[in-house]
Amino acid sequence: MIRIVFLGTGAGSPSLSRWALSTAIVYDSLIGLLDCGEGCQIRLQQRGISPLKIRFVAVTHLHGDHVIGLLPLLQTMTLFNRKDMLEIIGPKDLKDLVELFMKISRHKTSFNIIYKDPLEKISYNDKIFIKGFETCHTIESYGYLIEIKYKKDLFKICFTGDTGPCENVVMNCKDVDILIHDATFLSEHRDEASASGHSTVEDAAKTALEANVKKLYLTHISSRYNDEKKILGEAKKVFKESYLANDLDEIIIF
Ligand SMILES: [Zn+2]
Ligand SMILES: [Zn+2]
């Protein structure tokens, strides 16, 4: 079975219902994580996903709500005596972050970590292909295009992480089956969205329309909003095939 699991769908400040950002791509026993915000390993447990089977972690950028969950996840993998190599894809400073943490906590992983450039196209078992592209945020930041090969089909997913409205996202997410897009704010907080390098729900829907994607999933939702109908309504006005991602939701692809 191939599925997308939304582990966390919250923004900078998580809430009880929306934890920090993290999404899993599960292709039978081949598993990849897109971002790993605070608490992601607990969400993995809740969905029965073993940390030992995670083959790669692709981090969009180094804001805490996207990466801080990686450090305790690496510790857990070591406690479980993981031996398989792990690939970590992300900005260059990510290696420094992990290594500094290992150094000051006098910790050593039980497995090798290989760090990968986000702009390199990487294949996993000729089943999952991933390649990053730059997004429009306040620091170095990447979205990821994931192609999933199953029999004769090629299913495409685009995951933006944090971004304001961004021509590079439209270009790289052209015609994908599923676009998972930053939708931190409602239009009433448009100024705040621009100032912080984020998108409104409407921005995300416009990107989906321009990129001609099949389905849009809104994520990275600010904890200040609890009216889901309002969020979805704003998106559907622009792009009909809009859906709101919630923590622990799953999409079965094949
Ligand atoms: Zn964020
Ligand atoms: Zn950010």
Query: Are the CB atoms for 214 and 177 separated by under 8 Å?
Result: yes
Task: Give the whole-angstrom CA distance, residue 12 versus residue 114.
Answer: 28
- The fold of the 2-252 domain, in CATH, is Metallo-beta-lactamase; Chain A (3.60.15)
> What are the boundaries of each domain within the chain?
2-252
Q: Which ligand is nearest to the CA of 66?
A: 1
Task: Give the whole-angstrom CA distance, residue 110 versus residue 156.
Answer: 33
Query: Are the CB atoms for 113 and 86 separated by under 8 Å?
Result: yes
| Average pLDDT value for residue range 81-86 | 98
Task: Give the whole-angstrom CA distance, residue 166 versus residue 26.
Answer: 28
Determine which one of 65, 162, 182, 247 is catalytic: 65
Return the H-helix or E-strand segment holding 146: strand 142-150
Burial of residue 229 (number of CB atoms within 10 Å: 0-12, 13-18, 19+):
exposed
Which residues have CB atoms below 5 A from the ion given as ligand 1? 65, 162
Q: Which ligand is nearest to the CA of 164?
A: 2
pLDDT in tens, 130-188: 999 999 999 999 999 999 999 999 999 999 999 999 999 999 999 999 999 999 999 99
Q: Is the pTM of this model over 0.95?
A: yes
